[in-house]
Amino acid sequence: MDITEIMNQAFNLGQTYWQQADSEYTSQQKKSDATLMKFEELSTSVRIDIHQAKLQMDELKRQRDALLEALEKILPELRGLAIFSSVAKNYVDMSEFAIKQARGEQ
């Protein structure tokens, strides 16, 4: 259920509860207890869902922080590899150019 459906259900339960509780008939008044119980169950379910979502967000934040920390530790090595890769590519390019010149190709 999405939040709009939950809010509508809570509103409807509240309306039903007060209609039953304010009724002149004891049979309707007795039904209000069951309606109130349904509202309390819905409310508890929502609180549990919110708590679970908070725990999941906290875990995701913890994992994100751990990943960022690990990346910060290897970033200098990655930069070094990128520089090495660039130097190696330039060396290969210069070697190919030198070979072509030696062969008289251009």
* Lowest mean pLDDT across 14-23, 26-35, 91-100: 91-100
* Cα angle for residues 35, 43, 41 (degrees, 5° grid): 50
Enclosing domain of residue 25: 3-103
Do residues 31 and 17 lie in contact, with contact meaning Cβ atoms separated by under 8 Å? Answer: no
Radius of gyration of the chain (CA): 34
Number of domains the chain contains: 1
pLDDT tens digits, residue range 25-54?
A: 999 999 999 999 999 999 999 999 999 999
| Predicted pLDDT at 106 | 64
pLDDT category at 74 given cuts 50, 70, 90 is: confident
Strand extents, DSSP E, the chain: none
- The rounded percent of the chain whose pLDDT value lies above 70 is 99
